[in-house]
Chains A and B, each alone.
Chain A
Amino acid sequence: MAKAITVKQLKRQENTAGYLFASPWLIGLIVLGIFPILMSLYISFTNYNMISTMRFIGFENYRILFTNDNLFWKSLGNTVYHVAIAVPLSIVVGLALAFLLNNKVKGMSIYRTLFYLPNVVSVVAMTLLWMWLFQPNFGLINQILKPLYDLFGMEPIGWYLDQNLSKITLILMGLWTSGGSMVIYLAQMQDIPTTLYESAEIDGAGWWQKTIHITLPLMTPSIYFNFIMGLIGGFQVFTMAYIMTSGGPSRSTYYYAYYLFDKMMADNAMGMASAMAWILLIIVLIVTILALRLNKYVFYLGEES
């Protein structure tokens, strides 16, 4: 007769197992991660100039950022705008691509690889190319749209040279790397049991109904993932503006992370830059915790009882 085991012992076993499995990551965080993180927090309370001076100045950096810094609010506003539009848009596009490519038609492998190509190409090469394509005067896109412009009698769109459209232009360009989220959606789609589709078909469901009632609900784990990651990543948007528009025109694409970068590299104001980083962390943390509440709408196949 096997020794009886209590629920309490089982729970304790699971507790231990949990820590054991999480231990590589936990150890890494505490041993290798804590020092840099805490040091950067400390630096945010100093006037560190990256060479050697580091004098404690309390909340001065934070005070200045919130009350006496024109670009702080401008750059934050640009970033929030970007997040609000880019995140939903990229989810839609990523899903669309995944649906388009999730079938057994011949040649899908090649198409999938081609769609993923922009993620592999160097960011610099891609950005320069988009600069050329979207150039308002001789870029390919405005050339193609010329008949439309003539038809409606409107000025060619200024794309990244128009301060009202620059952020949207950068977001459009960013959609080229949707191949990344597409891959994750494709992977998720493989986990959907075909039996579900089969029984739905027997009940007479068409493509649309199958999508709404089976596919999308079962894709919520990865949609949720891309949403949260989109938020976190979106708040740190920087690279394309740096290469392409230098934050312009009229600081319309001057994002928070770009301003942070300038504080560090151009002004040597590492203390201030660290303060900006920690402010960003708090903001994103709050937004993310709110977003995590959406977890209740996520349908995990493994959680149904």
Chain B
Amino acid sequence: MKKLTAFLLAAIACFSLIACQPAENERITIDFWHMAPVGTAAFAPTKAIITAFNESQDLYTVKGTGFSFWDYWDKINIAVSSQTAPDLGLSTLDDVASRAEEGVLYNLSELLAADPTGFDVNQFYTNQLEFATYDGDLYALPFTATTRVLYYNLDMFAAVGLTAADIPTTWTELYDVAKQLDIVDDGVIQQLGFDPTYGNATYHGWLWEAGLDFFDTAGNPTLNTQAHLDILNWIKDFNSEYTRNQLVAFGDANTMLGINPFASGRVAMMVETDGLYQTIREADVDFEYGVTTIPIPDENGVRVNWGSGFSIELYDNNDGNTAARQGAWEFLKYIMSEEVQIELATINGWLMAHKGAMATVAADDPITARLVEEVEYARDKIYIPYAPSWHGNDWQPYYTQFLAGEITAEQCLQNARNNYLQKQENYNATH
């Protein structure tokens, strides 16, 4: 009994000690989710950025959690669905409108109106800002910018007597140059000049260059003009002198384990994202290369490429936590400032959305400068509510069938279009 009393008294003493700690200045915790988990090279520098912010003021403590790129989306989507989203997080720019419409994002225009020195809207690209706007207000900021360009291997050019002056700018030039760069040995393709399906080239990317698209301004599917057909056939016929088997063998050898045909020196020219530049640098390739605008149709061509990017958003969990919102806003201003943007670009190898920052980063790197130049002409894919993956799941199967020669171009476009129409019909029936 005595032992028990002593124990209880000791326990009470312990608890009261803990409870009676002098209250530390009550910093508000702000949760920020990003894509640099522990174990990546970018983790420590990202943490340093966050720590610098925490030490620069004493109202808020930002807690950063990084998830690997592939897991990040599962995590953020389920968090938003269950209203347990972080205070700040990254997402995709192209569907900001759908989230804004659902009321899960804080209105940044309002916050900016109350605090106009927050950031300079002019530092961002207008086409990106458009995607971040819903009903006239900003609900996200563009965080990164991606773009697609034509990579070319100068060593291969030189081997057939071509120089940088021969870099193609139109589809005809592209064809002529590419054919000079094919190397076939005993029926097996060793090197390919170019293929419109390789890398990150897409059918809609080629369509955009001809002023066409998958959908009209009202969101209805098109894909029903002769021009659509012509471009589709152009894509397939580019390397039509080789058999299907030869091309597939060459292509499959490239896709195993994600090796990149351009980086491994098997393709002379390829349409790829700015991300390839990072991969090439890390792999320390041994050939001369450069990037340029993707060639456009000879007539009425439009200089445009498919670029997207991450957005940075403040999530509204509908819990009335305005203190956290204010803290998130402060951190947003900090992370979107030029110095921090330069830092982020350097540690991640990303193209940031901040024009001023990228101008500095690109100053001594001609390839990055060229990439930044193309971002100006980048355009994101529109968001179609009844077919959010219109360029992916809803298009790829038909496209692959067509490329494999199992269906004709007409059938491909018709089937894809009918699929969109059916999805549209079903969507309208349930909404």
The answer to whether any beta carbons of A and B sit under 8 Å apart in the complex is yes
Judging by beta carbons under 8 Å apart, are B389 and A249 in contact?
no
Given A69-B422, A267-B387, A51 contacting B98 (CB threshold 8 A)? yes
Asked if B419 and A51 sit within 8 Å, CB to CB, the answer is no
Closest-by-CB residue of B relative to A64 is B426
Q: With contacts A70-B419, A248-B397, A262-B393 known, is A131 near B426, CB below 8 A?
A: no
How far, in angstroms, from A286 to B357 measured CA to CA in the complex? Answer: 62
Q: Does A210 contact B (CB under 8 A)?
A: no
Q: Does B183 count as interface, using CB distance less than 8 angstroms?
A: no
From residue A65, how far is it (CB to closest CB) to chain B in Å? 9
Interface status of B17 (Cβ within 8 A of chain A)? no
Which segment, of B228-236, B251-259, B280-288, faces chain A?
A: B251-259
Query: A57-B430, A60-B430, A266-B392 given as contacts; is B104 within 8 A of A138 (CB)?
Result: no
Write 23 A-B pairs (CB below 8 A) sorted by A numbering. Answer: A47-B430, A50-B77, A50-B81, A51-B81, A51-B98, A51-B99, A52-B81, A53-B102, A69-B426, A70-B419, A138-B249, A138-B252, A138-B253, A246-B397, A247-B397, A249-B400, A249-B406, A250-B397, A262-B393, A266-B388, A266-B389, A266-B392, A266-B394
Cross-chain contact of A51 among B104, B257, B394, B400 (Cβ < 8 A): B104
Instruction: Give A247 to B77 CA distance when docked, in angstroms.
Output: 24
Q: How far is the CA of A137 from the CA of B396 in the complex (A)?
A: 23
How many whole Å from B185's CB to the nearest CB in chain A?
Answer: 14
List 11 other contacts, CB 8 Å, given A50-B77, A64-B429, A254-B397. Answer: A51-B102, A55-B431, A60-B429, A128-B257, A137-B249, A138-B249, A246-B396, A246-B397, A266-B393, A267-B388, A267-B393
- Chain B 70-104 residues near chain A, CB threshold 8 A: 77, 80-81, 83, 98-99, 102-104
Residues of A within 8 A of B110 (CB): none
Q: Does B220 contact A (CB under 8 A)?
A: no
Interface pairs A-B: 6 shortest CB-CB: A137-B249, A266-B389, A51-B102, A47-B430, A266-B393, A52-B102
The yes or no answer to B382 lying at the interface (CB within 8 A) is no
- For residue B58, CB closer than 8 A to chain A, the reply is no
Q: A188 at the A/B interface (Cβ < 8 Å)? A: no
Contact with B along A60-94 (1 / 0, CB 8 A): 11001000111000000000000000000000000
Q: Is there a chain B Cβ closer than 8 Å to A251's Cβ?
A: yes
Shortest distance between the CB of A203 and any CB in chain B (Å) = 57
Residues of A within 8 A of B429 (CB): 60, 64
Assuming A68-B426, A70-B419, is B431 touching A47 (CB within 8 A)?
Answer: yes
Q: Which residues of chain B are within 8 angstroms of A254 by Cβ–Cβ distance?
A: 397
Closest residue of chain B to A51 (Cβ to Cβ) is B102
Closest B residue to A132 using CB positions? B256
B404 within 8 A of A: yes
Check A250/B430 contact, CB under 8 A, given A68-B425, A135-B252, A137-B248. no
In the complex, how many angstroms separate the beta carbon of A268 from the nearest chain B beta carbon? 6
Q: With the chains together, A161 CA to B81 CA distance in Å?
A: 38
- B401 to chain A: which residues have CB within 8 Å? 248-250
CB distance from B23 to the nearest CB of A (A): 36
Q: Is B245 an interface residue (CB 8 A)?
A: yes
Could you tell me if B400 and A248 are in contact, using CB atoms closer than 8 angstroms?
Answer: yes
Count of A residues near B, CB < 8 Å? 36
Looking at the assembled complex, report how far the CB atom of B430 sits from the nearest CB atom of chain A, in whole angstroms: 4
When C-beta atoms are compared, the residue in chain B nearest to A71 turns out to be B419
- Tell me, in angstroms, the Cα distance from A69 to B430 when the chains sit together: 14
Chain A binding surface, main DSSP class:
loop
On whether the beta carbons of B422 and A251 are closer than 8 Å, the reply is: no
- Measured CB to CB, the closest approach of chain B to A262, in angstroms, equals 5
Q: How far is the CB of A275 from chain B (nearest CB, A)?
A: 10
In the complex, A274 Cα to B425 Cα: how many Å? 19
B248 touches A161 (CB 8 A): yes
Nearest A residue to B77 via CB reads A50
CB distance from B243 to the nearest CB of A (A): 11
Q: How far is the CA of A152 from the CA of B384 in the complex (A)?
A: 52
**In whole angstroms, how far apart are the Cα atoms of A266 and B423 in the complex?**
13
Q: Which B residues touch A135, using CB under 8 A?
A: 249, 252
Residues of B with C-beta under 8 A to A69:
422, 426
Q: A124-144 CB contact bits vs B (8 Å, 1 = yes)?
A: 000010011001111000000
Given contacts A57-B430, A135-B252, A137-B252, contact A267 B389 (CB under 8 A): yes
The answer to whether A68 and B406 touch across the interface, beta carbons within 8 angstroms, is no
Q: Quick one: CB contact mask for A243-274 with B, threshold 8 Å, 1 for yes? A: 00011111100100000001000111001100
Chain B residues within an 8 Å CB radius of A70? 419, 422
With contacts A64-B429, A266-B388 known, is A52 near B397, CB below 8 A?
A: no
- C-alpha gap A250/B257 in the complex (Å): 23
User: Contacts of B397 on A, CB cut-off 8 Å?
Assistant: 246-248, 250-251, 254
Report B388-431 residues with CB < 8 Å from chain A CB. 388-389, 392-394, 396-397, 400-401, 404, 406, 419, 422-423, 425-426, 429-431
Q: Which residues of B contact A272 (CB under 8 A)?
A: 430
What is the bound-complex CA distance between A262 and B387, given in angstroms? 11
Select from chain B the residue with minimum beta-carbon distance to A61. Answer: B430
Output the residue of A51, A132, A271 with the most chain B CB within 10 A.
A51
Residues of A contacting B81 with CB < 8 Å? Answer: 50-52
